Amino acid sequence: MRIHWTALVFSSVNSAVQLLVPLYALHLGYPGLTIGILAALPSVANISLRVVAGRLSDRHGETRVLQAGGLFYLTATLGLLLSTAAGLAPFVCAQVLQGVGRSIFWTVGQAYVTKLPLERGQHLSLFNGATNLGMLLGMSGAGLLVVSLGYPGAFATVFLLTLLYSTLTYSLPPLPVPARMEPAGRAAGGWAAPTLGLGPLWLAASCSFVSGGTFALAGSFYPVYLAQVGYGARSIGLLVTLLAAGMLGISFVARSLIDRAIPLGRLGVTFIISGGLGLAAVPIFHNWLPLAALLLAAGFCSGGCSLVYQLAVLRHSAWHSRGATMASVGVFGNLALLILPTTIGLALRWTSLEAALAAAGLFIVILGGIAGLNVGRTSPLAAVRETIPVECSGEGT
């Protein structure tokens, strides 16, 4: 269960940092443009380095790369702590390093879980449950840390938790390597090449985009919309946290969905379209009860999309290129973090926020329809038969 505890601690720290950074920048009096740039820096680093992290894990092993990622994130939280005394420069460096550490964990951690021998459905559901629970704890705990300890104390606590996360990465054992027909982690150019056909690519990329898009809206224009309709900061925090609660909810049914062998394409398209409809309906309502129900449902569908894209990579990629494939698919989620807020921000010049948010949800519905049209082109692409040593199946989890 070590990877699951590692995921719980990392997700808690990452979620707390994502909430603390814009609040701290606002506390320092930075203008909106500066706050936007600071918030975007991790996503830029994430997009730039995610595929590199995946390929490095295929070549050198997941545990080594996860350990390096832990050190990057530890340095990032130290920079955030120093920024409380030294100003903007360590703040900027910390945000870049945070993006590096985040790209490594999400890419390599997910690839690590899909390679665990036996009971992969159980490992995936537990991994997603741990990350969703960590997200819920981090988002709800960050505000309490600021109120209780102030920003220096909050960042010091985050640094100590990151030290625990970095230490946990060194407890992860290397994975057993299956028999293979070609050198591990190598392609013609010496790197593992992503292996995903058109059908699985559409499905996995669409699910990744929806999962990232939900985070993007939760961290940008949903709070703005809720403030416009009269909710206070505490109420906004509670409502947005329901997205994380919905994502946690998928963990309780994930194993059942996997065991029933429901066609992956049908499951993914259902989550995408349902989630898009829920997101599109949010700006229709002002009362807290329908808003709470829609945000909870949208979080549930987003968590389902995250599960589906990991399963798609598991079923349709070769063992020795899985890190690169997981990274390539994960980039679409990072793109959503940049594209949706930027597009909505530009659209506000010509339309209302309600219309822009509804259009974003309908775009996701269309994306689900396109993914559904391409599901029939799905075919297993794992060119290497995986023979996993049974004697290692009970270790290192």
Tens of pLDDT, residue by residue over 295-348, are 888 889 888 888 888 777 777 777 677 677 777 777 888 788 777 877 887 787
Position 43 scores a pLDDT of 75
Q: What is the DSSP string of 295-308?
A: HHHHHHHHHHHHHH
- Yes or no: say if 307 and 255 are a contact pair by the CB < 8 Å rule: no
Position 25 scores a pLDDT of 77
Position 151 scores a pLDDT of 83
Torsion on CA atoms 311, 317, 320, 325, rounded to nearest 10: -80
Q: If you average pLDDT over residues 233-246, what whole number do you get? A: 76
Position 185 scores a pLDDT of 39
Position 328 scores a pLDDT of 76
Sorting pLDDT into bands at 50, 70 and 90, what band is 202? confident
Position 184 scores a pLDDT of 38
Question: Residue 355: pLDDT above 70?
Answer: yes
Q: If you average pLDDT over residues 337-361, what whole number do you get? A: 83
Question: Residue 393: pLDDT above 90?
Answer: no
Helix axes 62-86 and 88-104, enclosed angle (nearest 10): 160
Position 380 scores a pLDDT of 42
Question: Per the domain annotation, does 397 fall within a domain?
Answer: no
pLDDT in tens, 141-153: 877 787 788 888 8
The distance from CA 378 to its chain's CA centroid, rounded to whole angstroms, is 24
Q: Which residues are within 8 A (CB) of 387 and not within 5 positions of it... i.e. 6 or more apart?
A: 178, 179
Question: Per the domain annotation, does 27 fall within a domain?
Answer: yes
Q: Which residues are within 8 A (CB) of 205 and not within 5 positions of it... i.e. 6 or more apart?
A: 309, 329, 332
- Yes or no: say if 312 and 207 are a contact pair by the CB < 8 Å rule: yes
pLDDT in tens, 255-266: 666 666 667 778
Question: Per the domain annotation, does 117 fall within a domain?
Answer: yes
Question: Per the domain annotation, does 147 fall within a domain?
Answer: yes
Q: Bigger pLDDT: 244 or 273?
A: 273
Q: Bigger pLDDT: 392 or 52?
A: 52
- Domain extent at residue 344: 2-392
Position 162 scores a pLDDT of 93
Separation CA 108–CA 27 (nearest Å): 34
Counting the structural domains of the chain, the total is: 1
Question: Per the domain annotation, does 49 fall within a domain?
Answer: yes
Q: If you average pLDDT over residues 367-371, what whole number do you get? A: 84
Position 159 scores a pLDDT of 92
CATH code of the domain covering residue 256: 1.20.1250.20
Distances (CA, A) of 239 to 67, 103, 286: 35, 27, 12
- Yes or no: say if 308 and 121 are a contact pair by the CB < 8 Å rule: no
Position 397 scores a pLDDT of 36
Position 226 scores a pLDDT of 80
- Yes or no: say if 35 and 162 are a contact pair by the CB < 8 Å rule: no
Question: Per the domain annotation, does 131 fall within a domain?
Answer: yes
Separation CA 276–CA 18 (nearest Å): 24
Amino acid identity, residue 29? G
Question: Per the domain annotation, does 112 fall within a domain?
Answer: yes
Nearest to 13 by CA among 113, 101, 87: 101
Separation CA 214–CA 299 (nearest Å): 7
Distances (CA, A) of 168 to 7, 8, 58, 80, 163: 10, 11, 21, 21, 9
Q: Bigger pLDDT: 44 or 278?
A: 278
Distances (CA, A) of 6 to 47, 52, 126, 208: 23, 22, 12, 22
Question: Per the domain annotation, does 349 fall within a domain?
Answer: yes
Sorting pLDDT into bands at 50, 70 and 90, what band is 190? very low
Position 35 scores a pLDDT of 67
Q: What percent of the chain has pLDDT over 90?
A: 7
In three-state secondary structure terms, 40 is helix
Question: Residue 22: pLDDT above 50?
Answer: yes
Sorting pLDDT into bands at 50, 70 and 90, what band is 389? very low
Q: State the average pLDDT for the chain.
A: 76
Question: Residue 232: pLDDT above 70?
Answer: yes
1-15, 242-256, 305-319 — which one is most confidently predicted on average? 1-15
Q: Bigger pLDDT: 118 or 185?
A: 118
